[in-house]
Amino acid sequence: MSKLVPPHGGKGLVCCLLEGKALEDEKKKAEGLKKIEISSRAKGDLIMMGIGGFSPLNGFMTKENWKSVVEKMTLADGTFWPVPVTLDVSAADAKEMKVGQEIALVRNGELMATMKVEDIYEMDEAAKKWECELVFKGEGPDSEKFWEVALEDHPGVKMVMAQKEFNVGGTVKVLSQGEFPTKFPGVYLTPAQLRAKMDEREWANVAALQLRNPMHRSHEYLCKIGVEVCDGVVIHSLVGNLKPGDIPAEVRVKCIDKLVEKYFVPENVIQAGYPLDMRYAGPREALLHATFRQNYGINQQIVGRDHAGVGDFYGMFEAQQIFDKIPQPAEEGKRLLCKPMKIDWTFYCKKCDGMASMRTCPHSKEDRVILSGTKLRKMLSEGAEVPDHFGREEVLDILREYYSGLTNKVEIKMQRAASGSTM
């Protein structure tokens, strides 16, 4: 009997992925359907609906659900959900569709899913801006001049504003997991597969470390705090698309493998990957991470400084504070059951002679090595020397090799927190 937290939504794992004869029959039917080219983000969302990662969602959101999620962080039926999951289509395609019709969803020539259209709704500029202001606008200094900087500097806002003129909502039948099972064998795991691994180890209290950067010493420290107080930790990496300048998943996976091999008790950690694109929605994305991680069997999410943030759009601990403000539906199955493990700003302190946090270290900023994925990427991309205690040498060797092979380098902008200027 599993001791893990139940999936979100109270309906068990809702998996839209077809298999066997049902899959073959649906693929044949899809040949005769109107085909819609979807974005990379929508592809990742579809796969998550396929494997149960987005339970209880079984399709892209109708206008009623989209509006409720943006405004209240709940689906129309009251189930907690923090971020819109929508499918955009052009005005020309929308004009040729009608409610009740079935369509095929395609990404770069690959048939990903079929969908039964339940709603078609316009997304004019005002609607897109409304979504951006409620989902992406935080409390950092960049948000004081949000529309002056967001269209240039916030990848999530740019993504929404670039969407086509209409959204289409409806249930899906997912026909592919894309390249992820073959590209990341043993790392890309469905919720059912990860739950089975944790059940084998008889874990009940499990923490997740969210990663989109290679693990530096702060990540390692956060992970080890989780190992100390839980049955185990899942190092859960995003293996979908990131913004330019971020480090590809294949490189990050190699780094984690090396760290686990050299610096962890392997029985207490599991490395896993999930197929989403990053939205960079800061606090709201921290809630999304916790929501789908509950589906993976995880009941605690490590939340440190500027979780899922970008630039200076969010307060340093806004992603922790938002967990105290979310709706609490009366029905337990509709509530978010994955809780935050809130950890203060961490760093290496020369006087403490080890990793520490603002809660444990009494020394000055001058005694500290400020650790940040952005700062590490900037140093490596510019060929600068990485300070002692920033990262493990075995990991830095992998990253230096990656950067030495790059021909086109992207300028990395420093956040205030990454530089340590706000400490």
pLDDT tens digits along 275-316: 999 999 999 999 999 999 999 999 999 999 889 989 899 999
Q: How many domains in the chain?
A: 2
Tens digits of residue pLDDT in 151-179: 999 999 999 999 999 999 999 999 999 99
How far is it between the farthest Cα atoms of the chain?
A: 69
- How remote is the C-alpha of 315 from its chain's centroid? 19
CB 416 within 8 A of CB 422: yes
Q: How far lies 224's CA from each of 10, 116, 189, in Å?
A: 31, 45, 22
CB 173 within 8 A of CB 14: no
Mark whether 232 and 356 lie in a shared domain. yes
In a domain, 332, yes or no: no
Computed on alpha carbons and rounded to an integer, the radius of gyration of the chain in Å comes to 21
Mark whether 106 and 187 lie in a shared domain. no
In a domain, 94, yes or no: yes
Q: State the alpha helices, DSSP H only, in 322-381.
A: 373-381
In a domain, 380, yes or no: yes
Q: How confident is the model at residue 381 (pLDDT cuts 50, 70, 90)?
A: confident
Mark whether 136 and 206 lie in a shared domain. no
pLDDT for position 415:
57
In a domain, 419, yes or no: yes
Mark whether 261 and 138 lie in a shared domain. no
Tens digits of residue pLDDT in 311-367: 899 999 999 999 999 999 999 999 999 999 999 999 999 999 999 999 999 999 999
Order of strands, sheet of 346-349, starting from the edge strand that comes earlier in the sequence = 354-357, 346-349, 368-370
pLDDT for position 242:
77
What is the per-residue DSSP string for 260-283? Answer: HHHHS-GGGEEEEEE-PPP---TH
Rounded CA separation 262/220 (Å)? 12
Domain of residue 116 covers 20-174
Q: How far lies 128's CA from each of 71, 81, 133, 310, in Å?
A: 13, 19, 9, 19
Q: Per-residue pLDDT averaged across 117-137, rounded?
A: 98
CB 14 within 8 A of CB 58: yes
Mark whether 169 and 187 lie in a shared domain. no
In a domain, 319, yes or no: no
pLDDT for position 419:
54
CATH of the domain at 261: 3.40.50.620
Mark whether 159 and 256 lie in a shared domain. no
pLDDT for position 215:
81
Which pair of structure tokens corresponds to residue 366? 């001058």
- Residues annotated as catalytic (active site), given as ranges: 212-213
Rounded CA separation 370/316 (Å)? 14
Rounded CA separation 172/58 (Å)? 6
Mark whether 169 and 208 lie in a shared domain. no
Neighbours of 129 (CB within 10 A): 16
In a domain, 316, yes or no: no
Mark whether 228 and 162 lie in a shared domain. no
Strands 346-349 and 300-303: unpaired
Mark whether 258 and 376 lie in a shared domain. yes
Which pair of structure tokens corresponds to residue 227? 């190992």
Mark whether 254 and 158 lie in a shared domain. no
- Which of 131, 147, 174 is the last residue before a domain boundary? 174
Taking Cα atoms as reference points, which of 173, 185, 190, 172 lies closest to residue 19? 173
Task: Quote the pTM value.
Answer: 0.93
Mark whether 199 and 167 lie in a shared domain. no
Query: Is the model's pLDDT at 420 over the cut of 80?
Result: no
Mark whether 97 and 44 lie in a shared domain. yes
In a domain, 280, yes or no: no
pLDDT for position 211:
84
Query: Is the model's pLDDT at 141 over the cut of 80?
Result: yes
Tens digits of residue pLDDT in 2-60: 999 999 999 999 999 999 999 999 999 999 999 999 999 999 999 999 999 999 999 99
Query: Over 101-142, what HEC string results?
Result: CEEEEEECCEEEEEEEEEEEEECCHHHHHHHHHHHCCCCCHH
Which pair of structure tokens corresponds to residue 113? 């899913």
Neighbours of 413 (CB within 10 A): 13
- Which of 145, 174, 203 is the last residue before a domain boundary? 174
Query: Is the model's pLDDT at 401 over the cut of 70?
Result: yes
Q: State the alpha helices, DSSP H only, in 230-381.
A: 249-263, 283-295, 318-321, 373-381
Q: Give the residue with greater pLDDT, 244 vs 99.
A: 99
CATH of the domain at 160: 3.10.400.10
In a domain, 283, yes or no: no
- Which of 174, 196, 221 is the last residue before a domain boundary? 174
